[in-house]
Amino acid sequence: MNDSPLITTGLPVALAIIMFGLGLSLTTADFRRVARSPKAVVFALIVQIVVLPLLAFGLVEIFDVDPLLAVGVMLLAASPGGTTANLFSHLFRGDVAFNVTLTAINSVLAAVTIPLITNLAINYFDAEGDLGLQFGKVLQVIAIVLIPVGLGMLVRRRSADFAARADRPVRVFSIVILVAVSLGALLGERENLADYLRQVGLVTGLFCLASLSIGYGGARALRLSEPQAVASAMEVGIHNTTVALTIALSVLDNTTVAVPSAVYSVLMYVLATAFGYAITRPRSGISRRRAEPVKATGTGEDQTRDPSDSAV
C-alpha cells in the first residue's frame, strides 16, 4: 500500500488541497485576535504543544504499546486541530472565531512541532528502520502543511467570494479523503488489525476523552467563557488526522505508524459528539428552567425565578 502512487503522490497533494482550503478560511485578523484574548489562546496552545504529547507518552508507556504504534500515537498528539474542530465547535455553540485563531496558529507551529515530537518519539522508542524525519523530510512537512495555508490566505485576501464558494467543497473533500485514507490504512494492516486495535483502541479512545476534558475543564478553571471552553475542548480534542496519516504513509512510509491516527479518526467523531452533548445538555436544561414562569404568591402575576435562588 505504501508504495502506491495514491499514497506517495496523491495523498500529499490531497493534504495540500485541504490545507489550502483551510487557508481560504483564515485572515491576518485571526492572528491579531490573539491580543484580545491572550489567556485563552496561550492556555490552548500549551495544552496542544506540551500537555497532549506528555499525555500520549504516558498512555503508551502505561499500556506498553509497540514502538511503531507508540510513534504513531505521538505523531497523532503532535498534529494540530483542523476544520473538523471548527465544525464541532459550531455544532455545540462554541466560539468558532477562537477555533479559527487556534487553527491558524497551530497550523504554523505544526511545521516545527510535528518533526520535533516525532523524531523524539522515534529515538526514544528505538523504532526500527530508517524512520526519522531528516532535514529533507522536515522540509516536506513544511511544504505540505504551511505553504498551502499561506497560499489559501493570499487567495482569500484577493478574492473573498472565491474563498466563500470553495469552503464547502473543500470541507466535503476533506471528509472523503479522511475516510478513504483511514480505511485504507486499516485495511493495509488487516492481518494485524485485531492486535493493533487491542493495543491502540483503548489508548486512542482515552487520549481523545482526556484531551476533550482537559480542553474544556482547564478553560473553565481559568474562568474563560462557556463558548471559549467548548471551542478549546474541540480544538485540542479533535486532531487533523489527515496530516498525521499523510506524514506516516507518504513521509515516513510506514503503515503501522498510521494505524493510531486511522483508529482515532473514527473514534473522535463518536466521542466528540457524545462529549459535546454531555457538556451542553445540562446548560440547556438550566436555561429552560430559568425561563419558566413562576406564580408569585399573593400577587396574581407570573414572575421569572432563577432556580438557584432558595427560600430560607
Is the Cβ–Cβ distance between 43 and 222 less than 8 Å?
yes
Please indicate, yes or no, if residue 310 is contained in any of the structural domains. no
Owning domain of residue 241: 5-304
Res 131: pLDDT: 62
Q: Is residue 252 part of a domain?
A: yes
The CB-based long-range contact list for 270-278 (8 Å cut-off, 24+ gap) reads: 271/205, 271/208, 271/209, 271/212, 271/237, 272/88, 272/208, 272/212, 272/234, 272/237, 272/238, 273/88, 275/209, 275/212, 275/213, 275/216, 275/233, 275/237, 276/88, 276/91, 276/92, 276/230, 276/234, 277/92
DSSP 50: I
- pLDDT, tens digit, 9 for 90 and up, residues 1-45: 455 555 556 677 777 787 788 788 777 777 676 677 788 888 988
Q: Which amino acid is at 172?
A: V
Mean pLDDT over each residue of the chain, to the nearest integer:
80
Residue 235 resides in a domain: yes
Percentage of residues in the chain having pLDDT higher than 70? 81
Which helix or strand (DSSP H or E) is residue 295 part of? strand 293-295
CATH number, domain containing residue 148: 1.20.1530.20
311 in a structural domain: no
Within 10 angstroms of residue 108's Cβ, the number of other Cβ atoms is 16
pLDDT band at residue 204 under the 50/70/90 scheme: very high
Task: Answer yes or no: is 163 within a domain.
Answer: yes
Contact indicator for 92, 284 with CB cutoff of 8 Å = no
pTM equals: 0.77
Residue 128 lies in a domain: yes
pLDDT of residue 226: 92
Instruction: Name the nearest CA neighbour of 2 among 260, 201, 262, 256.
Output: 256
CA distance 240 to 86: 11
Amino acid (one-letter) located at 184: G
Which of 38-47, 50-59, 180-189, 235-244: highest mean pLDDT? 50-59
Give the mean pLDDT of 129-152. 73
Instruction: Give 59 or 19, the one with higher predicted confidence.
Output: 59
> According to the model, what pLDDT value does residue 232 have?
93
In a domain, 164, yes or no: yes
Total domains in the fold of the chain: 1
Residue 207 has pLDDT above 50, yes or no: yes
Residue 70 lies in a domain: yes
